[in-house]
Amino acid sequence: MQPLTILPNAYPSLVVSLALAMIGCRGQATAASDAGTASLSSGAASVGAPLSSVQVDHGEFDTKAPVGAAEVAATQIAGTVYKAANTSSRKLGYVRLGGRIRRDPDPAEKGGGCKGEWYRVYPAGFVCTDEFTTDLELPLIRAAQKRPDLSRPLPYRYGFVRATAPQYLRLPTRAEQERSEFQLKEHLTWYRDHEKEVQEVLLGANDIALDRRGIASVGSKGPTDRKLSTEVSLSELLGADEPEPAIPFWLEGGKRSIPNVSAFGVPDYAVFADRVRRKTGLSLVGAVDAIDRDFRRKFAIAVDLRMIPATKIKPDTGSPFHGVEVTEQLQLPLAWVLADGCKSYKLIKGKDEVREADELPKRAIVPISGTARIKAGNRFYQTRKDPTRWLRADALGIAAPPAAWPEAADKGEKWIDISLRQQVLILYEGRRPVYATLVSTGRDRLGDPKTTLSTPQGSFRIRSKHIAAAMDSEENSAVSGGSKASSGESSSGGGESSKSAASRLDAAERDGKKLSADDQRRLLNIKKGRDPEYGVTRRRGSLGFELRDVPWIQYFASGYALHGAYWHDVFGIPRSHGCVNLAPIDARYVFMWTDPPVPDGWHGINVGAEMGEGTPVVIRE
C-alpha cells in the first residue's frame, strides 16, 4: 500500500490526491491531531468552530444556564428530561449515567409521578431525583465519571466478543471464573499462544487528523495529543487512560460498592449479571487486572460498569474512511472508485468498443464532467481533468446535484441529500453543497422497505438524536420508536442472495475464471460454511447479537436512522437493514452539523417545537 500523500504514478492528472483517495485503507491512516473538546450545544465540532453559515433558531434550546449554576447528575443508564415537572409530560431527552447538566439551585414546585424532587434544568425541561442526584460525590457518579469523548469519531473504545462471556459485577476469583466460564483452562491456553495475533489492531477512525470543525485533514505530520491506536497498550485499547490502571475505588477489596445499573437484575451476592453473546459489539470505558495469587487476568469495563474478560474481546478501531468538503477546488460532480482493479478507458471513436487505459486505486476520488456515453453495453462517465479518459458507471459512487431541488433548497435551509443508487450522501446549504461522502443504505437498495431490507425514499426531518445507543443486529433500537420489517433470505451488497452467490462462484471456479479480491473472499467463506458476505459486506457475522453504543444516531423515520457504523468498512455498498450507515468520522460531522444540537451534558433528544425543527433529509433513487 502506498503512503497516503503520494499521487498514483499511473494517473496523476485524474485522481484528486491519494491522500484523499486512500483514506479508507486500513493501516495507513493519517495520525490524529488538533481534536479539541466538543461542545454539542454550540453546533461546533471541536472548540467552537462554526460548521454552517445558516443560522437556525433552536427556541428554548438556545437558553443559557446562569453563570455558576449548580449541577445534577444521572443515576440511571438514561435519566429522562421531561418537558414539565410531571412524568406524563413529553420526554425532551435524556442524560447518560454519570452525566451532569445545569440546574436551578432550588427544587421546582411539586409535580407529578416523582417520589423525590423536581429540578428545572438547562436549556429546558425538568428532572426527577428518582433518576438524578444533586450529590455529585455519590460513589455511583464518581464511578461513572468517564464520559463519551465528543471530540473523536468514536466516542468510546470498542471491541467485539469472540466467545460468550459472563458480565462480571465485581473482580472474580480464579475459582469463580472457572465455575462461570466453560473450558476456561483451554481458552486461556489458546489465548496465550495467539494473544499478539488476535489482539492486534489497525489504525482507525480516531487516528485520523481532524480540523477544528471535525473535517478530516490531509498530510498531518503525526499526533500532537495522543498515541496512535497501534502504539497503545491493551488496557488503553479497552478504554483505560493509562497502560497499567489501578483498581477503581468501587472494586477494591474484591467487592462492589456501587449498585448494578444494568437492565439485567440479579441478587446483591451475584458474581455476574447475564452473559454477553459472541459477535456482540461492546463500548468500553476502562480496564482492570484481577489478581488471585499467581493467577492474573485483565477485564474490560463496559459503559454500564460490568466487566468482560479481555481474553474474550477483540478490540476494534472502526473505519478510517471519510468524505470530503466540497470547495471551489473540489466541486460536484465527483466520484469514488468503489473496488480494487478499477480501470479507466478510452472510447474508440466510430466503434462500439473501449480500450483499457490505467488502473485506479480503490476509493480514489475522481472529478467527472457529468457527460455520459454508452459503449460496449456499459455506461461510462467522462473524467474532468482528462476528457479522453472514461470510467464505468458501475464501478463508481457518484456525488452529483439532484435532478429536482426540494423545498428546503429553495428556502436556503440546511438539508441532507441521499442517493440510494449511488450510495452517496451530500450536505447542502440551500443549493450549495458543502460535504459529500459514501454511505451504506439498505441491503436491497431500491426495494420496498415493508417487504425488503431497503431504506425508505421520500422527504423526512431529523426526529431524534443520540450520541450513542444500543442496536440489535437488525438495527432495531429501544430509542427508535419502532422497528423495521424483516425479509427472508439474506443477500449480498449488490442484492445477490447467498444461494446465487454460491452458484455463481462455484461455476466461475470450475471455468477457471479470474475472481476479484472480494469474490475470492466470498468463495473462501462458502468453503468454510460461512455467509459469502462475511469479511466483504458483513464483516462481523450475521444475526442474533447486539451492537452497543452505535455512535451518532439520528432517526428520520420510525426504525430508520443515520448512524455511525464501527463494525464494517464497505461504505459505497448497500449492506444495512434499512438504516443509513456512515463511517464514524462522517457520522460525527453530520451529527454536529444537523439541527437541533444536543445540549451540553445530554445524551439524546427527541425533536419538538421547543427546540426548532429537525434538519430535512431527502432520500431518492
Can you give the pLDDT at residue 398? 97
Can you give the pLDDT at residue 511? 77
Give the residue among 441, 443, 418 at the shortest CA–CA distance from 428: 418
Task: Say whether both 184 and 258 belong to one domain.
Answer: yes
Task: Say whether both 226 and 182 belong to one domain.
Answer: yes
Sort 597 into a burial class: Cβ within 10 Å, 0-12 / 13-18 / 19+.
buried
CATH classification of the domain holding 76 = 2.30.30.40
Angle ∠(85,88,89) on CA atoms, nearest 5? 60
List the domain range (segments joined by +) for residue 343: 18-27+333-399
Which of 285, 316, 347 lies at the terminal end of a domain, its last residue?
Answer: 316
CATH classification of the domain holding 597 = 2.40.440.10
Which of 316, 343, 365 lies at the terminal end of a domain, its last residue?
Answer: 316
Tally of structural domains, the chain: 4
Sort 162 into a burial class: Cβ within 10 Å, 0-12 / 13-18 / 19+.
middle
Between the alpha carbon of residue 602 and those of residues 73, 467, 553, 568, 612, the distances in Å are: 10, 9, 14, 28, 17
**Better pLDDT: 5 or 486:** 486
Give the residue among 144, 317, 156 at the shortest CA–CA distance from 230: 317
Collapsed DSSP state (helix, strand, coil) of residue 21: helix
d(CA 36, CA 215): 13
Question: Contact 436/426 with Cβ under 8 angstroms?
Answer: yes
d(CA 304, CA 146): 11
Provide the whole-model pTM: 0.85
pLDDT (tens digit per residue) in 139-169:
999 999 999 999 999 999 999 999 999 999 9
Task: Say whether both 161 and 245 belong to one domain.
Answer: yes
Q: Regarding beta strands 295-302 and 157-161, do their DSSP bridges make them parallel or antiparallel, or are they unpaired? A: unpaired
Can you give the pLDDT at residue 3? 29
3-class DSSP string for 261-313: CCCCCCCCCCCEEEEECCCCEEEEEEEEEEEECCEEEEEEEECCCCEEEHHHE
Task: Say whether both 426 and 453 belong to one domain.
Answer: yes
- In the predicted model, is pLDDT for residue 429 greater than 70? yes
Is residue 254 domain-resident? yes
Q: Regarding beta strands 464-472 and 604-606, do their DSSP bridges make them parallel or antiparallel, or are they unpaired? A: antiparallel
pLDDT (tens digit per residue) in 538-582:
544 344 568 999 999 999 998 999 999 999 999 999 999 999 999
For residue 90, what pLDDT band results from cuts at 50, 70 and 90? Answer: very high
User: Is the N-terminal amide bond of 596 cis, ω within 30° of 0?
Assistant: yes
Q: Which three cell numbers stand for residue 407?
A: 423545498
Collapsed DSSP state (helix, strand, coil) of residue 537: coil
Is residue 391 domain-resident? yes
Q: Grid cell 460490568 — which residue?
A: 306
